[in-house]
Amino acid sequence: MEEIKYVDEGSLAMARSWERKFQLLPPQAGLIFVSVRPIPAYKGLCDTFEVVLGFTKKYAIEESTGFAVINKVLADEIEHGMFTFRTRVFIGVEGSYFDENSEEADKIAS
């Protein structure tokens, strides 16, 4: 029988705690969204995590700055080398996903 990859509760808890670390950044950091997701592994013991951050253009943040933020927030984890982080950084405008004709855009405009 082939062993399957999955995510254990401990890996989920770690991902949630790292998300909280990013969410505690001050508003001046320009963080719009954060996602930390464990990559399934055999026996559920995940050692690779996907980290996705979105920053607003409002504070003139560049992609390289976003990666520097990841390195700073996860410095201890990176230093100990126990985990691998696949990272992506997006730069955009808050609320830009709303279509001009959407109900949400109408609510915001009024």
pLDDT digits (tens, 9 = 90+) for 28-62: 888 989 999 999 999 999 999 999 999 887 766 67
* Residues 66 and 72 sit within 8 Å (Cβ to Cβ): no
Q: Which CATH class is domain 5-109?
A: alpha beta
Q: State the pLDDT at residue 105.
A: 42
* DSSP state letter for 106: H
Q: State the pLDDT at residue 91.
A: 84
Give tens-digit pLDDT for 57-71: 776 667 788 889 999
Residue 77's nearest CA partner among 7, 22, 30 is 22
pTM equals 0.78
- Tell me: pLDDT of 109 over 70: no
- Tell me: pLDDT of 94 over 80: no
Q: Domain locations in the chain? A: 5-109
- What is the full DSSP assignment across 27-90? GGG-EEEEEEEEPPEETT---EEEEEEEEEGGGT--HHHHHHHHHHHTHHHHHHT--EEEEEEE
